[in-house]
């Protein structure tokens, strides 16, 4: 799965140590366990242990038990070809798509990783969690068009436009990637657990949240940037001025991806999208 050092970093992260500390240790080329559990004040200062990191570093025996039990019991770590762990500093399919400065220390996938190949065409379909009937209809038409053109549909498994995008792709025997703000055990929203399972038949689930990690508000914003970066371009169906969708648009702009959008009824929203280089879709039919 991973080299010894990377594996140790993975387990330390699942135990609760900060991403920043573990990355700093990796780049220092020092032995992770020696640094983490040294109880040396100078080392703690040099590597800038957070208060939580310092507290966890007192539990060396607990860590050993955790690691042993986690390795034996965690479903994601069972030998299974559809489960993959990606390390930030390895050359992988994901590192080809997500810039290193945007890449977390670890990312995780479940499903058909061939959908991340450079030769595969991917389009992100994004929009509000509470779409109008018109927007749902437009989404259905757009997804069907791109499935017919052999594109993989990328979205975030959220309510609304994301859900419609994934469901229509599946109904057309198409392929779809869902980028999650949670780990694979705690699908959000919980109503989409069955949809996530259906996606796995021929699609892919992707997340930056490890199997023993909690989800924070920042994970939703992180999800948006991964959606933008792994896609060739994005299509915006419906959004408001301050929303997760607008955040995805900004991430697409920063990633130098083309942005297309359905003209909104709000002038300010249209102007905002256009400020990020967005172009109106004129041929929805």
Residues 21-56, buried b or exposed e (16+ Cβ, 10 A)?
Answer: bbbbbbeeebebbebbbeeeeeebeebebeeebeeb
Position 279 confidence tier, pLDDT thresholds 50, 70, 90: very high
How does residue 283 score in pLDDT terms, banded at 50, 70 and 90?
low
The DSSP 8-state label assigned to residue 52 in this structure reads H
166-179 pLDDT, tens digit per residue, is 999 999 999 999 99
CB 246 within 8 A of CB 239: yes
- Averaged pLDDT for residues 176-194: 97
Please tell me the predicted confidence (pLDDT) of residue 99.
95
In this predicted structure, what is the pLDDT of residue 171?
A: 98
- Segment 198-221 shows an average pLDDT of 96
Of 87, 82, 127, nearest to 106 (Cα)?
A: 87
Task: Please give the C-alpha separations between residue 165 and each of 160, 207, 229, in angstroms, as whole numbers.
Answer: 9, 18, 18
Confidence of residue 90 (pLDDT cuts 50, 70, 90): very high
The token pair at 276 is 């990020």
CA angle 281, 284, 285 (to 5 degrees): 155
pTM of the entire predicted model: 0.95
5 contact partners, CB below 8 Å, separation of at least 6: 26, 31, 32
Residue located via tokens 């387990």: 11
Q: What is the mean pLDDT of the chain?
A: 95
Residue 79 has a pLDDT of 74
Dist CA 252 CA 227 (whole Å)? 9
Tell me how far apart the alpha carbons of residues 283 and 285 are, in angstroms, rounded to a whole number: 5
Which residue carries 């038409």 as its tokens? Answer: 141
Report in angstroms the alpha-carbon separations of 9 from 2, 71, 105, 174.
10, 13, 9, 37
SS3 262: coil
Contact 257, 135 (CB under 8 A): no
Q: Beta strand 204-207 with 176-180: parallel, antiparallel or unpaired?
A: parallel
Residue 1: the pLDDT is 41
Share of the chain above pLDDT 90, in %: 92
CA distance linking residue 64 with residue 122, whole number of Å: 42
pLDDT higher than 90, residue 51: yes
Spatial separation of the C-alpha atoms in residues 117 and 208, rounded to whole Å: 19
Residue 15 pLDDT > 70, yes or no?
A: yes
Mean pLDDT to the nearest integer, 146-175: 98
pLDDT reading at 71 higher than 80 = yes
CB atoms within 10 A of CB 202: 15
Q: Where are the domains of the chain?
A: 4-73, 106-280
| Beta-strand pair 122-126/176-180 | unpaired
pLDDT at 234 over 70: yes
Q: What is the CATH number of domain 106-280?
A: 3.40.50.450
Cα separation of 234 and 227, whole Å? 9
How big is the chain, counted in residues? 285
Q: Alpha-carbon distance 54 to 96, whole Å? A: 35
- Tokens 């419906």 correspond to 238
Tokens of 203: 């699609």
pLDDT value at 78 more than 90: no
């Amino acid at each position: 799965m991973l080299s010894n050092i990377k594996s140790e970093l993975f387990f330390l992260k699942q135990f609760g140590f900060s991403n920043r500390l573990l990355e700093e240790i990796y780049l220092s080329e020092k032995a992770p366990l020696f640094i983490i559990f040294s109880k040396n004040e100078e080392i703690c200062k040099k590597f800038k242990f957070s208060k939580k990191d310092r507290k966890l570093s007192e539990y060396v025996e607990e860590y050993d038990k955790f690691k042993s039990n986690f390795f034996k019991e965690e479903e994601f770590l069972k030998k299974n070809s559809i489960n993959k762990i990606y390390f930030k500093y390895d050359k992988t399919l994901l590192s080809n798509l997500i810039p290193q400065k945007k890449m977390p220390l670890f990312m995780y996938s479940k499903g058909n990783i061939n959908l991340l190949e450079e030769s595969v065409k991917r389009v992100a379909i994004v929009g509000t969690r509470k779409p109008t009937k018109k927007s749902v209809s437009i989404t259905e038409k757009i997804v069907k068009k791109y499935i017919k053109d052999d594109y993989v549909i990328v979205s975030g498994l959220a309510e609304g436009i994301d859900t419609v995008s994934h469901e229509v792709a599946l109904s057309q025997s198409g392929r779809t990637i869902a980028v999650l703000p949670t780990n694979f055990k705690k699908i959000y929203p919980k109503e989409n657990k069955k949809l996530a399972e259906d996606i796995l038949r021929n699609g892919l689930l992707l997340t930056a949240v490890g199997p023993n990690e909690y989800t924070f508000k920042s994970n939703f914003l992180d999800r948006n940037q991964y959606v933008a970066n792994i896609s060739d371009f994005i299509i915006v169906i419906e959004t408001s001025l301050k929303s997760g969708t607008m955040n995805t648009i900004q991430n697409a702009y920063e990633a130098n991806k083309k942005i297309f959008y359905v003209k909104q009824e709000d002038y300010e929203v249209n102007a905002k999208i256009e400020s990020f280089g967005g172009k109106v879709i004129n041929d929805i039919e």
